[in-house]
Amino acid sequence: MRQLLGLTSILLLATTAAAASLFSTPTESKWKVTKGATNTGTVTLLTSAKGVRAEWRASAAKSPVVVFLGSNNKVWVRETGGDVELAAYKGNVEKSIVPALLFTSASAKYTKDAKGPSVVEVNGYKLTRTSLTTSNADASNFAVRPKKAAASRLASLSGGLLGPSQSTVSATAGGRGVGTKGLKLADGGDYTAVESIENRDAAWKEKMDEALAAFQKEGKIGKAREEEQP
């Protein structure tokens, strides 16, 4: 048992070390990425107590910046609509090399100088540090904002389009509407919720017609005004 506990402690320490950031103080460093004699791209690395951020740009002209974020030993990539975990990011060569700058990796080789890691070799690429300065980057630069699933976004959209929230009606039912009032199919859909929305919309329409008629009459506009004229 004592040996097992000792082994567990060693593994935990190794995991912690493997997930450590390259610099322990707030810094901004720039890195040149090469493969052999070919320039592949550049990385700007920001470290802080809040997390780690790497901005990758491929060497090809007009290449967009890809932002990687490191938080709680996990790597995220910024995409339109929010951040996704590294495994969900398709990307290109940056997916296999930039994470080695966010956290130390067992698959990478690190060479250090007096200031810290200066060269990182990973998956056939060489990342060479070209500058290192202190940083006071705002905490917002390191905030991870996970992308919502498509189903959640549709549910939110449906609820918004259908007006005020109603706790007895599922917002997603609107997104799954079947078209014909009262129609129920044997496909597992929540048609009771759909029917509730249909009934609610009918009530709203009835009130809306009354309110519109009163508005037209008071303002002397629209069809009601035309009917009043001799």
Dump pLDDT digits (tens) for 21-68.
999 999 999 999 999 999 999 999 999 999 999 999 999 999 999 999
- What phi and psi values does residue 213 have, to the nearest 5 degrees? -65, -45
The pLDDT of residue 220 is: 54
Measured distance CA(49)–CA(59) in Å, rounded: 30
Measured distance CA(79)–CA(98) in Å, rounded: 16
The pLDDT of residue 205 is: 63
The pLDDT of residue 195 is: 72
Cα–chain center distance at 89: 11
Q: What is the DSSP string of 10-45?
A: HHHHHHHHHT--S-SS-EEEEEEEEETTEEEEEEEE
Measured distance CA(16)–CA(106) in Å, rounded: 12
The pLDDT of residue 3 is: 46
CB atoms within 10 A of CB 111: 12
Residues constituting the chain:
230
Using the structure block, give the residue that is written with the tokens 């929540």. 190
Give mean pLDDT in consecutive 10-residue pieces for the chain, a chain of 230 residues. Answer: 40 46 95 97 96 97 96 94 95 96 95 97 98 95 87 51 46 45 57 69 65 63 51
Tokens representing 7 are 């082994």
Q: Element (H or E) spanning 59, and its range?
A: none
The pLDDT of residue 203 is: 66
Using the structure block, give the residue that is written with the tokens 């249909």. 198
Query: Residue 112: is it exposed, middle or buried by C-beta count within 10 angstroms (0-12/13-18/19+)?
Result: exposed
The pLDDT of residue 206 is: 64
